[in-house]
Chain A
Amino acid sequence: MRENKFRIKLLRWFLHLPATYPVMRPFLDLLNLKENPAFRIWVQFLLDIMRQAYAHKRPVIWMNSFVPSEMAYGMGAIPFFPELMASLTSYMGWSHRPIAKADSRLSTDLCSFYRCALGLALEGFLPKPDLILSSSHLCDGANKLFHYFSKTYKCPHLMLDPPYHESSSSHQYMKEQIKETVENACHLLHLPIHRERFSSAINLSNQARQYMVKINGLRRSIPSPFPGSEGLSYLAGMNFYSIGSPWAIQFYQSLYHFIQNRVSKQKGYLPREKFRLLWLHHVRPYYKNEIFHILNEREAAVSFEESNYLYWPSLDPYKPYESLTHKILSNVWAGPIERRVKAIEEMVQNYSIDGVIHFSHWGCRQSCGGAAVIGEWLKEKNIPYLILPGDCTDPNNYSQGQTRTRLEAFIEMME
């Protein structure tokens, strides 16, 4: 027990030491030498974000995944994402402890990303925030949990509350909220509001978007050039957290060249591709699991994933608040289910999809609540559909046997 406590203390000290990250970088670069260059940029991005957040040279804003990251970059603050830390912890196989820690305060029926993030915060592993900013669309939990974080760290909490419908009234309301939030945040953090910096973040966002359009276009190729398992991990990660920063350009450019090279050689990520699948939901399990291994074995490629569907239009750098309003309100996972179904219909066509898997992450009401209606639509189109229940960060909610049985039955159905 004493040894365990010592290890935790050591890990906490190690994480909070800004020198950790520049020291780790060459080692990780070497370790990832065989990975594609975009993956290496992702790792470097993470190290940089963590170094800055723990060094705390500028104000740190904790944000949930659905706050446009352009806001933090535009304000000149350091964004930090507790959900990202939860998925990384799970990826390392360490999520048991923080989840158990949080379970003394939160129900086990709540999202494990949030439970894990709370556990990490309670253990003192996360960098101290100066401000907490959450957005309420897609996730009811964000408002309350992020408020609890603000109580825990004794710092202010601001919230964006995007409306459900798209209308002139909701655009006006959202725009006012963004403007007020930026002004309040800058005031609280003693940051001057630089319009140029905001425009620059929007410009960078647009440049990243251009590459994303090209990447998504390339991913229509048969065979599938890029694995969905990676699309759901670091690609989705960069999509959530890097947009508006120079890292995003570097990353997407590199990934574009990597995929382009594969497409030009007609090289798929599987030796042989029998089926093309679409993965629904933003996320996948990050701890060690067999899901993609089973699919690979059965020559079923995850050709595309919902999390990388590009829903927002090109933004206007001279109108940053309007632009971010458009970005938030065009989110297909918000609003009526028809928007999501329409996007799925487009993805099924564009990526020549043979079957669809809806990964139902335990605790995610937004996504799981629509799974049955989506299934009805797919049934009408005669597209095989599997609702795969599971959990992204809590391995205790993963049943290896049941998952294998469901996936194999699904593949057999397609055969």
Chain B
Amino acid sequence: MNPILDFKKIIHEEKRRTSNLQEGPVIGWTCTYLPLEILEGAGISPWRILPETSSDKGDAYLDPNFCPFIKASLGKALEGGYSFLSGIIILNSCDGMRRLYDAWRFYCHPSFSYFLDLPRMVTPSSIAFFRDGLKDLIKQIEDHFRLKISEDGLINAIEGANTTRTYLKRLFSLQGRGDPPLMQSDILEIVSEGWKNPRRVFNKSLNIFLQGLETYPPTHLEGPRVMITGSLMEGSALIHLIEELGGQVVSSELCVGNRIIDQIVLDSDPLGSLSKAYLEKTSCARMYDTEQRIGHLKQELERTQAQGLIYFSLKFCDPYLYEAPAIEETLRQMGMPMLFIEGEYTGKMGGGIRTRVQAFLEVLERDARK
């Protein structure tokens, strides 16, 4: 029994059954701080820009000391890999994204492009400011695509996204309970299907899959319990590697992992609810409050009873590279081992990383025996 193949079969079947439902435009997005509910409320399909492999094409247009994910995204766009998109929305996540927005517009000429400002702080005024940005985004989408995003449409989209969050929370909670029927790498593969499939299809498939999970034999993992955090990474190669080397990944605190909003509590102002929930979600290193992130990591380490933390940063990713010493220092004070890995966006883990992960797991094992 292979849960991933089974999930893919379910989703394929659901897509086939509902193939006539999705005909609207598709918009590419780059950062999980974008409330996808706005697009879905407009009948637009969001598509996460997450190129599978790096491309050399971006190298000619962006500096050598630049985020490999951003170069890969631009490279794929230049090669026509995103020609199916009706537009892009890039967020003010980091310097790299600001320059990607410039380069994408300049070299790829998308018919619709929008740059959404994203505050780094969470205060009443930043929530109000982000709300203003979302309102402007709605206006630009309405004007460009000649459609109307109604309040009811937005509320329905928020409810649909809340259902996904409920299912994903359940999926992630299967980790760390002793005998997980799924490995963390399986979970991340399932999560990634949500970025390429219509919400309704994904929700239905996930629900069916979760109901059938009890029939799977448990995977008996006994290796060291590791939590992983850090920047965006391509696929789940690092997690596969840890699992292959006998480790258990008990939490993936990543924007391709379990950084998920609990539930959006709707009030009389759905846009305000979205703004608040997205700014308050489990934060990325690009946000101001490092201490809040440290607090969250500590909680997650404790909750999952992890024995060590692997901190991954893409090369040239300033928010994570600059944050690493503060995290390392805190963990040292806690007596929690940490392995820092700086890597490329290739989806492959080289021999050097393999050796370091192996040695790290050995240290954790040795510490557990003491």
Chain A interfacial positions (CB closer than 8 Å to B) = 105-107, 109-110, 114, 136, 138-141, 143-145, 147-148, 151, 159, 161, 163-165, 167, 169-170, 172-173, 176-177, 180, 336-337, 360, 362-366, 368-373, 376, 389
Which residues of A have CB within 8 Å of B121? Answer: 159, 161
The answer to whether B95 touches A366, judged by C-beta atoms less than 8 angstroms apart, is yes
Question: A363 vs B63: C-alpha distance in the bound complex, in angstroms?
Answer: 10
Known: A161-B121, A363-B65, A365-B318. 4 other contacts (CB 8 A): A164-B92, A173-B119, A177-B125, A365-B63
Which residues of A have CB within 8 Å of B342? Answer: 107, 109
Give residues 295-317 of B contacting A (CB, 8 Å).
313, 315-316
* Chain B, Cβ-Cβ closest to A151: B326
- Quick check: is B204 within 8 A (CB to CB) of the other chain? no
- Quick check: is B221 within 8 A (CB to CB) of the other chain? no
Interface core residue of B63, B323, B329 (most chain A CB under 10 Å) = B63
The answer to whether B286 touches A140, judged by C-beta atoms less than 8 angstroms apart, is yes
The answer to whether A139 touches B120, judged by C-beta atoms less than 8 angstroms apart, is no
- Among B27-35, B97-105, B155-163, the stretch that binds chain A is B97-105
The answer to whether B106 touches A373, judged by C-beta atoms less than 8 angstroms apart, is yes
Question: A169 vs B119: C-alpha distance in the bound complex, in angstroms?
Answer: 13
Give 1 or 0 for each of B107-150: 1 = CB within 8 Å of chain A CB.
Answer: 00000000101011101011011001100100000000000000
Which residues of B have CB within 8 Å of A151? Answer: 326, 329
User: Could you give 19 example pairs across A and B, Cβ below 8 Å?
Assistant: A106-B322, A138-B95, A141-B318, A144-B285, A148-B326, A159-B120, A165-B117, A170-B117, A172-B129, A173-B129, A176-B125, A177-B125, A360-B65, A365-B65, A365-B94, A365-B318, A369-B63, A372-B103, A373-B102
The answer to whether A369 touches B98, judged by C-beta atoms less than 8 angstroms apart, is yes
Return B127 CB to nearest CB of chain A, in Å: 10
- Quick check: is B368 within 8 A (CB to CB) of the other chain? no
* Chain A, Cβ-Cβ closest to B115: A164
Return B27 CB to nearest CB of chain A, in Å: 19
Interface of B is mostly: helix
| A148-B326, A163-B117, A176-B125 known; A143+B288 contact, CB < 8 A | yes
* Chain A, Cβ-Cβ closest to B329: A151
- Quick check: is B67 within 8 A (CB to CB) of the other chain? yes
Interface residues on B, range: 35 or more
Question: A140 vs B120: C-alpha distance in the bound complex, in angstroms?
Answer: 11
- Quick check: is B336 within 8 A (CB to CB) of the other chain? no
Question: A408 vs B117: C-alpha distance in the bound complex, in angstroms?
Answer: 42
The answer to whether B326 touches A147, judged by C-beta atoms less than 8 angstroms apart, is yes
The answer to whether A389 touches B96, judged by C-beta atoms less than 8 angstroms apart, is no
The answer to whether A147 touches B290, judged by C-beta atoms less than 8 angstroms apart, is yes
Which residues of A have CB within 8 Å of B103? Answer: 369, 372-373
Which residues of A have CB within 8 Å of B60? Answer: 372
* Chain A, Cβ-Cβ closest to B125: A176
Return A66 CB to nearest CB of chain B, in Å: 12
- Quick check: is B178 within 8 A (CB to CB) of the other chain? no
- Quick check: is B62 within 8 A (CB to CB) of the other chain? yes
The answer to whether A140 touches B94, judged by C-beta atoms less than 8 angstroms apart, is yes
The answer to whether A337 touches B106, judged by C-beta atoms less than 8 angstroms apart, is yes
Question: A145 vs B323: C-alpha distance in the bound complex, in angstroms?
Answer: 7
| A143-B288, A159-B120, A169-B132 known; A337+B102 contact, CB < 8 A | yes
Question: A170 vs B116: C-alpha distance in the bound complex, in angstroms?
Answer: 12
Return B267 CB to nearest CB of chain A, in Å: 21
- Quick check: is B319 within 8 A (CB to CB) of the other chain? yes
Which residues of B have CB within 8 Å of A366? Answer: 95, 98-99
Choose from B66, B125, B318 the contact partner of A144 (Cβ within 8 Å).
Answer: B318
Give 1 or 0 for each of B318-333: 1 = CB within 8 Å of chain A CB.
Answer: 1101111110110000
The answer to whether A360 touches B323, judged by C-beta atoms less than 8 angstroms apart, is no
Return A244 CB to nearest CB of chain B, in Å: 25
| A170-B129, A363-B65 known; A143+B120 contact, CB < 8 A | yes
Return B220 CB to nearest CB of chain A, in Å: 38
- Quick check: is B61 within 8 A (CB to CB) of the other chain? yes
Return A132 CB to nearest CB of chain B, in Å: 12
Question: A177 vs B120: C-alpha distance in the bound complex, in angstroms?
Answer: 12
- Quick check: is B24 within 8 A (CB to CB) of the other chain? no
Return A162 CB to nearest CB of chain B, in Å: 10
Which residues of A have CB within 8 Å of B99? Answer: 337, 365-366, 369-370
* Chain B, Cβ-Cβ closest to A148: B326
Which residues of B have CB within 8 Å of A105? Answer: 324-325, 328
Which residues of A have CB within 8 Å of B217? Answer: none
- Quick check: is B64 within 8 A (CB to CB) of the other chain? yes
- 6 smallest CB-CB distances across A and B, nearest first, come from A369-B99, A144-B322, A368-B63, A365-B95, A337-B102, A173-B129
Question: A391 vs B133: C-alpha distance in the bound complex, in angstroms?
Answer: 37
Which residues of B have CB within 8 Å of A159? Answer: 120-121, 288
Which residues of A have CB within 8 Å of B94? Answer: 140, 365
Which residues of A have CB within 8 Å of B129? Answer: 163, 169-170, 172-173
Give residues 207-234 of B contacting A (CB, 8 Å).
none
The answer to whether A164 touches B63, judged by C-beta atoms less than 8 angstroms apart, is no
* Chain B, Cβ-Cβ closest to A159: B288
The answer to whether A140 touches B102, judged by C-beta atoms less than 8 angstroms apart, is no
Which residues of A have CB within 8 Å of B92? Answer: 163-164
* Chain B, Cβ-Cβ closest to A136: B120
The answer to whether A336 touches B318, judged by C-beta atoms less than 8 angstroms apart, is no
The answer to whether A144 touches B102, judged by C-beta atoms less than 8 angstroms apart, is no
Which residues of B have CB within 8 Å of A363? Answer: 65
Return A110 CB to nearest CB of chain B, in Å: 6
Which residues of A have CB within 8 Å of B313? Answer: 107
| A136-B120, A164-B115 known; A362+B65 contact, CB < 8 A | yes
Which residues of A have CB within 8 Å of B62? Answer: 369, 372
Which residues of B have CB within 8 Å of A360? Answer: 63, 65
The answer to whether B106 touches A376, judged by C-beta atoms less than 8 angstroms apart, is yes
